[in-house]
A and B are shown apart, each in its own frame.
Chain A
Amino acid sequence: MSTQTAPLIEVQHVSKYFGSVIALKDISISVNASEVMCLLGDNGAGKSTLIKILSGVHQPSEGRYLFEGKEMHFSSPRDALSVGIATVYQDLAMIPLMGISRNFFLGSEPTQGWGPFRRFNVKFADQVTREELGKMGIQVREMTQPVGTLSGGERQSVAIARAVYFGAKVLILDEPTAALGVKEAGVVLRYIAQARSRGLGVIFITHNPHHAYPIGDHFTILNRGSSYGTFAKSEISREELTGMMAGGEALEELSHELAEFARTDEKAAATLADAAREFEAVAGELHVEQLPPKFVDAEHQHEQLPSVDGEGKR
C-alpha cells in the first residue's frame, strides 16, 4: 500500500536471541491503518517471538521498533496497550464464568457516583457491550450470559470488539482461528475485516494460509526465524502462499485442495442445472454422490441445488 506516510507500526531489521539461540533474524514488517498483515509460518517459525516483541513482552536484541513513525521501547504489554497496541491471545482473552459485559469492561469498569459510593455502572456496561457487539454482528440477548457459553469464535470476536472499543489502533491477533471450526473461523475473519474497515491496522498470526489469504492485504512468511519476504496480495496466489509454508503440511494442503475440487465440481453442477433444465434431476443425483457430506445435507434441506455464491468466496 502507500508508503508516503509513516506506517502505523513498523519493525526494521529486528533480531531476537535467547542465549545462543537465534529466535528471529533480520525481520522487517510494517502495517498501515486499514490494512491486514498476515504473519504466516509453521510451528517454530518465530511467529510467537515476533508478536511478543510487537506486543511489548520481549524487547528486540537488534533492530528498531517504530509506532506512528516514532521509535518505541516498550517494557511491558501495558506500555504497548497504552499507545493503542492491543494483543488478543487465543486462550487468555476471556474469563469463561463471567458475564459478557463484565468481561468486556473487566479492568476498565465504567462507574457512577463518587467516593466510597462509586459503583459499577452495569446498565451502561450492558448497553455499550450490546452496541459494540452489534456493530460486529453478534446478537446476544443476555449480557449476563457467561462467556463460556459463547462459541470459541464469538469469544475471540468479543475480545476483538473490546480491544477496538478501548481505542486500539493496532490489533495483534495470535492464532485467533487455530482452534476453530470452518464456520467459526469465518465469523472471526469477518470481524477482522470489520476492524480493518474501521481504520485499524491488524496483524493476523496464523499457520493456515486458507484463513490468511481471503483477508490479508500483505503476507509475511516466516521460516526458521527468518523471513521469506513480504508480498502484497496481488503478487502472490493462494497456491504459492501455501507452497511457501513448510512442506510438512502437505497433508493439510492436500485436504484443502480436495475441498477446492469439490467446490469446483459443485459450481459446474449448478451451471449445468441452470443451462439444461430437463437434465436437472439427473445432474443433481450425479453430483450428490460426488459431493462431500455437508453439501449433501444442504441438498436435502433445500430440495434443490444450493447457491454457491457465498461458499465460493469463502
Chain B
Amino acid sequence: MSATIATERMVRVRPLRRLLVRPETGAVVGSIAVWIFFAIIGVAQNNGFVSLRGTSSWLSVSAEYVILAVPVALLMIGGEFDLSVGGMIAAAGMIIAILSTQFGLNIWLAIIAAFIFAVLVGMLNGYLVMRTGLPSFIVTLGTAYILFGVTSGVTSAVTGLTVVSGVDQAAGYSSAHAIFATALGGGQQFPIEIIWALALVALATWLLLGTSFGNWIFGVGGDANAARNIGVPVTRVKILLFIGTAVCACLLATIQVVTFTTADVLRGTNQEFVAIVAAVVGGVLLTGGYGSAIGAMFGALAFGIVQQGIVFAGVNAEWYRAVIGLILLLAVMLNSYVRKLAMEARR
C-alpha cells in the first residue's frame, strides 16, 4: 500500500501548472493584457500613452493604489476587510494640513501626529473586530463613516472650509517634500511614491513569505480556530494587520498632502474599494488564507493602466469604472478556477 502511495505522490507537477497556481498569475497576465490593449490604441491614436509621460502617469496612479492595496491584501489574506482606509486618508490628510497650517506646527510633527492617529485607528478597528466577533466588513464600515464625518465636522468647525491649503508654507516642508513628493528621472517626472510603493511590496513580500508572522497571517486567514489551537496569537496578528492598513493609508495621505499642498475632506472616498478590487484581481482569496503582495501590486497596476489608458484614449473617464468592474468579474472567475487547480495539483 505504501508503494502505491509513494508513486502517486511522486507524480511531477507540470511547470505550466505550477505557474498557473501562483496567486499573482492572473493579475500579471491581466495587467499586461490591458497595457497591450491601451498601447495599441495609444499607437493608433498617437495619444502619448506609450511615451515616458504616459508611463509616468499610469505608474504614479498605480503606485498610490499599490500603497493601499498591499496592506489591504495582507489583511484580507489574514481573513479580514478594512473599509475605513478611505476615511483614514481623509482624516490623516486633514490632521497634517490643519496642524501645519492652522496651528503652525512643523509639518514633520503634524505627520507624526497623523501616523500616531492611524496606529490608534488600526488598533481600534482590530480590537473591535476581535472583541465583538462581528464581521470586519461592518465594523470598519462604521469607523469609515465616523472618520469621514468627524473629519468634515472638525474641518469646517476649525477652518470653515472643506479644503485646507497652504501646507507648503509650513516649517519643514522642503525636507518633507524631498521624502514624500519629489520627482525622479529628470524631466520625465516619475514621482517618488513609485519607490515607496516598490519598497512596500518588497517589505510585504518578505513579511508574508520570509517570516513567522507571515506564516501566521496565512494561518489566521485560512482557519483562525485551527491556528489558535496550535498556538498562533490570532488576535495580535489581526490587530497588527489592521494597524498596517491604517498606517499605509496615512502614508498615502501624507504623500498626497505634501504633493498637492492641500487636504480635502473628500479625498480618499471610495479608495477602500479600489484597494479591495486590486487585491482580489491580484489573486487574494475573499475568504482569506491565500494571496500575495506581488499579486496585489499587479492588481493595482491593472487598475492604474485602465484608468489612465481611458483618459489618454480620450473616452469619458467615467467609463473606466465599467472596465474595472468587468476585470474584477473576470479575475474572480479566473482565480476561483486557478484555486481549484491548486487544490488538485497532485494530479
Chains A and B belong together in one complex:
yes
B116 to chain A, nearest CB (A): 21
In the complex, chain A residues 76-135 whose Cβ is within 8 Å of any chain B Cβ: 77-78, 81, 89, 92-98, 102, 105-109, 111, 118-120, 122
- A281 sits at the interface (CB 8 A): no
Question: Complex: how many Å from CA A145 to CA B346?
Answer: 8
Contact A139-B5, Cβ < 8 Å, known A92-B225, A107-B227, A148-B343: yes
Q: B5 contacts A102, CB within 8 Å? A: no
Contact A119-B210, Cβ < 8 Å, known A92-B225, A96-B343, A138-B9: yes
Majority-rule SS of A interface residues: loop
Question: Complex: how many Å from CA A93 to CA B223?
Answer: 10
Question: Complex: how many Å from CA A300 to CA B210?
Answer: 51
Q: How many residues of B contact A (CB 8 A)?
A: 36
Counting chain A residues whose Cβ lies within 8 A of the other chain, the interface size class is: 35 or more
- A140 sits at the interface (CB 8 A): yes
Which residues of A lie under 8 Å from residue B230 when comparing CB positions? Answer: 106-107
- A277 sits at the interface (CB 8 A): no
- B306 sits at the interface (CB 8 A): no
0/1 string, A22-59, CB within 8 A of B gives 1: 00000000000000000000000000000000000000
Question: Complex: how many Å from CA A111 to CA B214?
Answer: 12
Q: B229 contacts A98, CB within 8 Å? A: no
Question: Complex: how many Å from CA A183 to CA B5?
Answer: 11
> Residue on A with the closest CB to B223?
A95
- A186 sits at the interface (CB 8 A): yes
- A12 sits at the interface (CB 8 A): no
Cβ-defined partner of B226 (8 Å) among A94, A122, A146, A149:
A94
Q: A120 contacts B215, CB within 8 Å? A: yes
Contact A109-B215, Cβ < 8 Å, known A97-B222, A141-B10, A146-B343: yes
Q: A106 contacts B215, CB within 8 Å? A: yes
Which residues of A lie under 8 Å from residue B9 when comparing CB positions? Answer: 138-141
- B285 sits at the interface (CB 8 A): yes
- A187 sits at the interface (CB 8 A): yes
- A142 sits at the interface (CB 8 A): yes
Q: B12 contacts A141, CB within 8 Å? A: yes
Cβ-defined partner of B218 (8 Å) among A92, A102, A108, A310:
A102
Most buried by B among A77, A94, A106, A140: A106
- B231 sits at the interface (CB 8 A): yes
B296 to chain A, nearest CB (A): 17
Which residues of A lie under 8 Å from residue B229 when comparing CB positions? Answer: 77, 89, 92
Question: Complex: how many Å from CA A137 to CA B2?
Answer: 7
In the complex, chain B residues 145-163 whose Cβ is within 8 Å of any chain A Cβ: none
Cβ-defined partner of B290 (8 Å) among A92, A97, A145:
A97
In the complex, chain A residues 269-308 whose Cβ is within 8 Å of any chain B Cβ: none
In the complex, chain A residues 148-163 whose Cβ is within 8 Å of any chain B Cβ: 148-149
A141 to chain B, nearest CB (A): 6
* 18 extra A-B contacts, CB within 8 A, seeds A102-B218, A137-B2: A95-B289, A97-B285, A97-B290, A98-B215, A98-B218, A98-B289, A102-B215, A107-B227, A107-B232, A137-B5, A139-B5, A141-B13, A145-B345, A145-B346, A146-B345, A149-B344, A149-B346, A186-B1
